[in-house]
Amino acid sequence: MGRPGLVLEVDERTPPLLVHRGEGFGLQRFPLGSRVVYPPDSLPPLPDVTGAIREALQDPLDSEPLPELLRPGMRLTVAFDDISLPLPPMRTPDIRQRVLEQVLELAARRGIEDVELLVANSLHRRMTAKEIQRAVGERVFRSFWPERLRNFDAEDPDDLAYIGQTDRGEDVEISKRAAQSDLLVYVNINLVAMDGGHKSVPVGLGSYRSLKHHHNVQTMLNSRSYMDPPHSALHGSAARMGRFLAQHLKVFTIETSLNNETFPKQFGFLNRREWEWSVKDQAGYLAAKKANEMAPSRIRRDVFRRITAPYGVTGIHAGETEAVHRRTLDNVHRQQKVEVDGQSDILVVGLPYISPYNVNSIMNPILVQCLGLGYFFNLYLNRPLVRPGGAMILFHPTPWEFHAVHHPSYIDFFDEVLSETTDPTAIEAKFEQQYAMDPWYVHLYRNSHAYHGVHPFYMWYWGAHAMDHLGDVIFVGADRKAVSRMGFRTASTFSDALEMAGETVGGSPSITYLHAPPLALAEVR
């Protein structure tokens, strides 16, 4: 069993602390009395993953065993999480591959011929053939691609089925192939508490008509936090949709959870607490930092893209969606939860090089905002780590740079929408429909590898709760023009940022540094 998370107060003996800065990192001294929230050590992995998968399928929760649900002549669809999980990508074989191989082997034994595999990419970009092959493995890829293994197309009118409305009037529209199947098997990876459960099928296989009911400003403002499903309006809406779907579609859910082994050996110092660094860790840090600083940005990006995480699998559960997800959340909490007393005036985070939406791509300014204000701010239960009206300081260079293939509507959103207003409610009212229905963005989503035209809006809304809660947002070492376009402030150094934040929160502020990744989920009492 790994050690629990740690809350440390900085004193004279505390060494400089490691801070992520996009495609880089560095050591930073924090003021005396600052509070540091460290994630727990990694939990031990399951000793026999293959056996654990087999046991989950044969002895599921609140469901018949999977072999008993399979019968000759049936229509079987198997959907799985897309490239946005896990982060960084895990070493092969991916857990999705290992689960899929056993599910498909059972189907073959039962003589099922009508089998299709769907990437549950929703309004995300289509995965490339190479990316899909890496996730599912060569054997599955070779057997099913491309006729029976494909990306879900949320804009294909011939492959969407309108199921109806929930008791709150929420439209439920998903993949027709999935909706018309005798059985839908969903294979999930739970990296954080926000993932999985009823968020998998209605969202991963849902259309814009469905997603707009919970991916909107009002829902985000009433989700406290996104990582706390019982208190999240987003999850409440998805759960209503999932329960409604369960009346029309048999779903067999398979969820997996991972430990905190986020970085490989050459970056092993990133997994450990600074005062515990060995001589080898110190040398590794200095060598990696020097090489990183000397390399051009393109080379740095290529180096980080090649990082694969040596995650261990901590849990595999299968069966009825809600019963499964309760066990999965227990596993996630065991790995990530840290008890923290009270809120601070200032929250400090260092943002890494990767988010769910720039895998094999570029972290553009909107995604930086989403990662910081949408994800890291919301890594809490009960209350945010920072008090209402407090300040958040983020480390990231935030270059004015976009991937033209993956994020075309982001470019226009940044240039056209944010130059007029940064207010999420005003943006939603004036611009969302135009971008969501734009035929060129729809074409690029369907035929290239572009995120849907509405996607940058959702990323902006993702930060709405934090924007409403905070009194100030300051980026350290960032592109001033890019940050200013988003309505935030920049500082050249951390000390400058603290001085600026003091203007908002007052003198002698309390400071919390969320030391991540690896990930921690702060239970703030």
Q: pLDDT tens digits, residue range 347-393?
A: 999 999 999 999 999 999 999 999 999 999 999 999 999 999 999 99
pTM, full prediction: 0.97
Alpha-carbon torsion angle 279, 284, 286, 290, nearest 10: 160
Q: What is the pLDDT of residues 232-286, one digit of tens each?
A: 999 999 999 999 999 999 999 999 999 999 999 999 999 999 999 999 999 999 9
* pLDDT for res 3: 73
C-alpha distances out from residue 352 to 99, 101, 479, Å: 29, 33, 16
For residue 266 the two structure tokens come to 């050459």
CA distance 370 to 103: 35
Residue 256's nearest CA partner among 331, 190, 329 is 190
Chain position carrying tokens 């694969």: 308
pLDDT band at 193 (very low <50, low <70, confident <90, very high): very high
pLDDT band at 304 (very low <50, low <70, confident <90, very high): very high
For residue 428, pLDDT over 70 is answered with yes
For residue 340 the two structure tokens come to 């923290």
Chain position carrying tokens 């992995």: 45
CA distance 101 to 107: 10
For residue 23, pLDDT over 60 is answered with yes
Average pLDDT over residues 107-126: 98
Q: Are 344 and 387 in contact (CB under 8 A)?
A: yes
Q: Are 385 and 347 in contact (CB under 8 A)?
A: yes
Average pLDDT over residues 496-520: 97
pLDDT band at 297 (very low <50, low <70, confident <90, very high): confident
For residue 2, pLDDT over 70 is answered with no
* pLDDT for res 191: 95
For residue 1, pLDDT over 60 is answered with no
SS3 389: strand
Q: What is the 3-state secondary structure (H, E, C) of 429-447?
A: HHHHHHHHHCHHHHHHHHH
CA distance 27 to 75: 55
For residue 115, pLDDT over 90 is answered with yes
**Averaged pLDDT score across all residues of the chain:** 97
Q: Are 74 and 297 in contact (CB under 8 A)?
A: no
C-alpha distances out from residue 322 to 112, 215, 245, Å: 27, 21, 13
Q: CB within 8 A of 108, min separation 6: which ones?
A: none
pLDDT band at 298 (very low <50, low <70, confident <90, very high): confident
Q: What is the pLDDT of residues 141-191, one digit of tens each?
A: 999 999 999 999 999 999 999 999 999 999 999 999 999 999 999 999 999
For residue 225, pLDDT over 90 is answered with no
Q: Are 97 and 59 in contact (CB under 8 A)?
A: no
Chain position carrying tokens 């027709």: 176
b/e per residue 417-453 (b: at least 16 CB within 10 A): bbeeebebeebbeebbeebbebeebbebbeeebbbbb
For residue 473, pLDDT over 90 is answered with yes
Residue 178's nearest CA partner among 104, 102, 108, 248 is 248
